[in-house]
Amino acid sequence: GADIDMVGIVPKFIEQKHFFGSLKTMLMEHPKVANLIGVSSARVPVLTFDFDEVNIDLSLAVLPTTTRIHPEAVHLMDDNILQHVGQAAAISLNGPRVTHMVRLLVTADAPEPEKPAR
């Protein structure tokens, strides 16, 4: 089945213990969350759960910053985002980067849609 792969991008003062502790607890208490499983020992630690019957895999990417991360300031396609991050964070960040690159390649090679006959 299909799922949604998400990456939580956080500053370095957010640790894996928070991800699998307080965040997991908050998700467990949410009425639309079911089947929550935390896999902290995986190569890329992940929380997997169903939200309103949609399966979500949530991984964590810790960036080497101590300041709040603003979503509009995160540029996933900039290779600099991978500098000084751990292996699990790099793998988590590369998921959406690869998806984006493949989408660009597929749409760039796609033939123009035919115009309807008049």
Q: First-to-last CA distance in the chain?
A: 40
Query: Tokens 């749409």 belong to which residue?
Result: 107
State how far the Cα of 83 lies from the Cα of 64, in Å rounded to an integer.
8
pLDDT digits (tens, 9 = 90+) for 21-75: 999 999 999 999 999 999 999 889 999 999 999 999 999 999 998 888 888 888 8
Q: Which residues pair with 10 in a beta bridge?
A: 62
pLDDT greater at residue 2 or residue 19: 19
When pLDDT is cut at 50, 70 and 90, the band that residue 106 belongs to is confident
The answer to whether 7 touches 92, Cβ cutoff 8 Å, is: yes
State how far the Cα of 9 lies from the Cα of 60, in Å rounded to an integer.
6
3-state DSSP of 1-16:
CCCEEEEEEEECCCCH
Residues in the chain: 118
Instruction: For residue 70, give every residue at least 6 positions away whose Cβ sits within 8 Å of its Cβ, in sequence order, or none.
Output: none
